[in-house]
Amino acid sequence: MNKKFSSHSARETKIFAESLAQKLIHTGKDKRAVVLGLVGNLGSGKTTFTQGLIKGFGVQKRVLSPTFVILKRFCPSKRSGVQNVYHIDAYRIHRKDLLDLGWEKIVSGHNVVIIEWADRIRSALPQHTVWIYFKHGKTGDERYIIIN
């Protein structure tokens, strides 16, 4: 089942992502990590969405794409019930690189894992990965976000 959201600004994208974080808090009481695979062209809203999502877990730090450091870990608020939020940029890595980052431990805890460019490491991701696609709209700020 696909859910499609249309955003007309970075602010709308962040607000949508914050609300999604709240839903994940209430539904993600599983023992495995919630893995979100973000897919889209450069500038399609992946990092903006991630900023809102991480804020929705109560993280107050500034969120930038981990392009060169590959992985960033954030400590969400205790009331979120989430141990860690991981933000991974997979643009420059391969399956083996992901495993070397401690992937098995990351996905075995009650964590949220957000992966930009996730299609590049699709074979390493768990079957329960939630795929989120980002597409440019017809106007400069319009974006389509499709969750399946």
Q: Where exactly are the structural domains of the chain?
A: 3-107+122-147
pLDDT tens-place string over residues 81-106: 888 999 999 998 888 888 888 899 99
Q: Which pLDDT score is estimated for 69?
A: 66
Q: Across residues 47-70, what is the average pLDDT?
A: 82
pLDDT tens-place string over residues 99-127: 888 899 999 888 999 999 999 999 999 99
The amino acid sitting at 79 is: R
CA distance 103 to 124: 9
DSSP category for residue 134: E
Tell me how crowded residue 78 is: count the other CB atoms within 10 A of its CB.
9
3-107+122-147 — its CATH code? Answer: 3.40.50.300
CA distance 86 to 123: 19
In terms of DSSP bridges, do strands 112-116 and 85-89 run parallel, antiparallel, or are they unpaired?
parallel
Share of the chain above pLDDT 90, in %: 56
pLDDT band, residue 66 (cuts 50/70/90): low
Encoded tokens for 57: 């877990």
Q: Tell which wins on pLDDT, 78 or 3.
A: 3
pLDDT band, residue 50 (cuts 50/70/90): very high
DSSP category for residue 142: -
Report the chain's C-alpha Rg in angstroms: 14
Average pLDDT, rounded, for the chain: 88
Encoded tokens for 80: 């979120």
Q: What is the pTM of this model?
A: 0.90
At residue 5, the 3 state secondary structure works out as strand
Q: Tell which wins on pLDDT, 60 or 52.
A: 52
- Residue 146, class by beta-carbon neighbours within 10 Å (0-12 exposed, 13-18 middle, 19+ buried)? middle
In this predicted structure, the answer to whether residue 28 has a pLDDT above a threshold of 60 is: no
